[in-house]
Amino acid sequence: MSKSVRRKTALAALGGIGLAMRSGCPAGADRGGEAAEGPSEQRAPQRSAAACCGGPKKKYLEFLLFLFLVVSLGACKSGERMAKKTEERTKKELLNRLKAQYLDFEWLEAKGKGKLKTEEENLSFSLKMRMRRDSLIWMTFKKVSVEGLRLQISKDRLETLNRQANEYRAEPYGQLEEQLGVSLSLRELQDLLLGNPILLERLDFKLKQDSQYYHLTSPLPKDGQLELWLDADYRIRKSRIQRTEAEYMTVTFEDYQELGGKYLAFTKILEAQNAAGKSVYLKIDLKKVELNEPQRMRFKVPDHYEQWINGYKQ
């Protein structure tokens, strides 16, 4: 395989590795947005939600779930790690401590870098994410300053521009909820990306604790189990989703920094394995997060892009 083809494959992999990693990376997009960011318009997109780069549309949704969990579940609580013992807490007290870390915003921008390792690829990339509260989520992924994927999520659709494949994909927002196995509003999805606690009332957690960690465990709505490990300062240090004995995803959280009076884990490390035994390692380091500065979010689909709407080629 030529180097250029391998690079395109690597960029496509960003859109294809999902929580369950059950299928391959979805095929790209139809008409694609321009690489440059445009005016801060956030008109409702003209098309339904999109699938990611490369393969079947289900993979795109898995990629979203994977990304949401990686950039989220470990968000907010206090500063540097300390040799501190846990105190006796009830489940209700512990969940209230998590809720107290809720970080609200009107606008958000985050920039960072990542490393992705699979059996086939070893890829470094940069990412950018922008959000307007309860309105729009916008992301780009680049390798060596070349954009590979642009993603936009509104209340009614998911859209993706695959720059490497010259493709645009759009799917209804409900496809994401179906893949997640739980109903999530766009606002809750933004909370998940930011790391605000969600679904605390909807999951039936069991609590165990030792001198170092609080351990919360809950069955998931469809299948599998979610586990969270909180330290004595109520920071989420690790999360794990186990679908089957062989299929799992574990995320650890490091480098907590203050943001808007709360604390955010700026480093996330993911290790996952699918039912076939294939594994993936992903590390994301956020370098900059800004709150409440209006952002520009451009998503324009070039005329020459192949288009897929609701799974059908146009």
pLDDT per position as a tens digit, 101-151: 888 889 999 999 999 898 888 889 999 999 999 999 999 999 878 888 899
305 within domain boundaries: no
304 within domain boundaries: no
- Number of compact structural domains in the chain: 1
162 within domain boundaries: yes
Count other C-beta atoms under 10 Å from residue 149's C-beta: 29
Q: Which residues are registered as beta bridge partners of 241? A: 226, 249
225 within domain boundaries: yes
d(CA 142, CA 125): 6
49 within domain boundaries: yes
d(CA 211, CA 266): 25
d(CA 127, CA 98): 27
Beta strands 167-172 and 306-309, pairing class:
parallel
Range of the domain at 129: 3-33+44-294
Is the sign of the CA dihedral 297, 295, 189, 141 positive or negative?
A: positive
pLDDT of residue 311: 87
299 within domain boundaries: no
> pLDDT (tens digit, 9 = 90+) per residue, 202-240?
789 999 999 989 999 999 877 788 898 998 988 888 888
d(CA 8, CA 31): 18
300 within domain boundaries: no
* Cα angle 15-20-25, degrees, rounded to a multiple of 5: 25
313 within domain boundaries: no
**Residues, the chain, total?**
314
Q: What is the CATH number of the domain that holds 97?
A: 2.50.20.10
Residue 130, exposed/middle/buried by CB under 10 A (0-12, 13-18, 19+)? Answer: buried
List the chain residues with pLDDT less than 70. Answer: 1-83, 179-182, 195, 197
Q: Would the pTM count as exceeding 0.85?
A: no
* Cα angle 171-175-181, degrees, rounded to a multiple of 5: 165
d(CA 13, CA 55): 10
